[in-house]
């Protein structure tokens, strides 16, 4: 299974419309991939809080339309990153969209852990309440967004729901890049799962982005890591490695706490 993570440069000198067209063209260039992954809130930038309300879209808004078409034109599964979604009741959500190769919406995930403590996303957006997994032809993906990476219980929940590959869109800042790499590897090791973590490059709202999108295997080895700029990171995964790792080193079976306590 080939995955391409498109680490988009998100700077303020490019309009949202122009970036949307550019990203659609980048997706269309990945026709040898099975799964293409985009970052969090790449239309506005994850830290451009002031622009969320104005840029918010209904679920089936312009980004949905452009990405559904890009997925079907290219014939790939497309995790289109997240959009600032405006629910019909007016609430904003940080919502990730996944399209099938025919351009149908296969999954939508509203970010559960909102970043910003008592400001920014944490006060401007509502919290999602549902874990989301999706069966692809060769594996089951579990979806998470950026700050979620700090909450291991979310990933355990995804494992209990069958996830073998975590797909995480992010807009992670350079300031905390060491946490990004460490946490991506930790989530892979503790869950014996692949982690595909796609971030942004560039600077928006005065916050330099970390880049360094990363793919980690179920043993915690880094298979590929991007640099700081805009880049496409392509990697071949072997989904059977998840089951093999879990059989050969069955630590997940020794869980004693939680909802699904195995008995041996
Ligand atoms: N957009 C985010 O969720 C940022 C998360 C972050 O900066 C951190 O966890 O550190």
Pocket of ligand 1 (CB under 6 A): 40, 46, 115, 146-147, 150, 171-173, 176, 179
- Residue 146, pLDDT above cutoff 90: yes
Task: Determine the residue of 46, 94, 115 to mutate for testing ligand 1's pocket, defined as the one with the most ligand atoms within 8 A of the Cβ atom.
Answer: 115
Q: What pLDDT was estimated at residue 260? A: 53
pLDDT tens across 166-193, in order?
999 999 999 999 999 999 999 999 999 9
Average of pLDDT values for 228-233?
A: 98
Q: How confident is the model at residue 49 (pLDDT cuts 50, 70, 90)?
A: very high
Determine the Cα–Cα distance for residues 181 and 231; give it in Å rounded to an integer. Answer: 17
Tokens 């400001």 sit on residue? 119
Using alpha carbons only, what angle is made at residue 228 by residues 227 and 231, rounded to the nearest 5 degrees? 65
Indicate which residue's Cα is closest to atom 7 of ligand 1.
Answer: 172
* 106 CA → ligand 1 middle, Å: 26
Q: How confident is the model at residue 25 (pLDDT cuts 50, 70, 90)?
A: very high
Cα distance between residue 20 and residue 244, in whole Å? 39
Q: Is the ipTM of this complex over 0.85?
A: yes
Mean pLDDT of 22-48: 98
pLDDT score for 24: 98
**Residue 221: active-site member:** no
pLDDT of 258 above 80: no
Look up 198 and say whether it is catalytic: no
Dist. CA 148 → ligand 1 center (Å):
8
Structure-block tokens of residue 101: 């190769």
Q: Are 96 and 80 in contact (CB under 8 A)?
A: yes
């Amino acid at each position: 299974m080939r995955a391409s993570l498109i680490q988009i440069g998100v700077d303020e000198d490019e309009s949202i419309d122009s970036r949307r067209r550019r990203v659609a063209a980048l997706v269309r260039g990945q026709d040898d991939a099975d799964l293409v992954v985009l970052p969090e809130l790449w239309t506005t930038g994850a830290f451009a809080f002031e622009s969320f309300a104005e840029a918010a879209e209904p679920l089936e808004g312009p980004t949905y339309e452009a990405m559904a078409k890009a997925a079907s034109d290219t014939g790939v599964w497309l995790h289109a990153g997240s959009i600032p979604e405006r629910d019909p009741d007016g609430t904003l959500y940080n919502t990730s969209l996944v399209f099938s190769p025919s351009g149908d919406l296969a999954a939508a995930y509203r970010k559960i852990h909102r970043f910003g403590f008592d400001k920014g996303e944490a006060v401007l957006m509502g919290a999602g309440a549902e874990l989301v997994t999706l069966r692809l032809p060769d594996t089951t993906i579990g979806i998470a967004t950026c700050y979620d990476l700090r909450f291991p219980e979310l990933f355990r929940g995804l494992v209990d729901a069958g996830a073998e590959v975590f797909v995480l869109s992010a807009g992670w800042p350079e300031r905390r890049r060491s946490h990004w790499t460490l946490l991506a590897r930790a989530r892979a090791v503790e869950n014996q799962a692949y982690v595909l973590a796609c971030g942004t490059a560039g600077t928006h709202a005065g916050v330099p982005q970390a880049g360094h999108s990363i793919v980690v295997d179920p043993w915690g080895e880094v298979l590929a890591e991007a640099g700081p700029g805009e880049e496409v990171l392509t990697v071949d995964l072997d989904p059977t490695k998840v089951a093999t790792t879990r059989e050969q080193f069955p630590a997940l079976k020794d869980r004693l706490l939680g909802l699904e306590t195995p008995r041996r």
